[in-house]
Amino acid sequence: MFLDENWSVEQIQLVGELATAACELLSKRREISAEEMLSWSLLDGEGVFPRGCLHVTAESAIRLGRAIIQILEGSLPEAPRGTWWFFGTEDGPRTLAKSES
């Protein structure tokens, strides 16, 4: 995820506030079922693909939300050299090697 250079300060602030509120709501849950994720209407009317999981923990979604907030604030630490951050997994943030193309 990259921050759009054309976003106004107000847009950045609003997305940050929405992400913070979402993390707060998620903190009251233990998990999100695959059935629920598939029922959400997102881009092109499709839900979130649960990658074969029956559920995801709310904590993994919160880690992703907090990373998005850090991107908006410009405070997400750089990934180690030659890697990208990968959030949204149950085992915490990981890094993925950048491809050599």
Residue 29: is its pLDDT beyond 80?
A: yes
The residue ranges of every structural domain in the chain are 9-97
Report percent pLDDT > 70 for the chain. Answer: 96
Cβ contacts of 56 within 8 Å, gap of 6 or more: 31, 32, 37, 50, 88, 90
Provide the 8-state DSSP code for 82.
T
Question: Which of residues 14 and 89 earns the better pLDDT score?
Answer: 14
- Is the Cβ–Cβ distance between 69 and 20 less than 8 Å? yes
The pLDDT value given to residue 30: 96
Q: Which helix (H) or strand (E) holds 37?
A: helix 34-39
The pLDDT value given to residue 26: 95
45-49 own/partner pairs: CB under 8 Å, 24+ apart: none
Q: Is residue 77 packed enough to be buried (19+ CB in 10 Å), middle (13-18) or exposed (0-12)?
A: exposed
Read off the pTM.
0.82
At 46, give phi and psi (nearest 5°): -95, 155
The pLDDT value given to residue 68: 93
Distance of CA 88 to the CA centre of its chain: 6
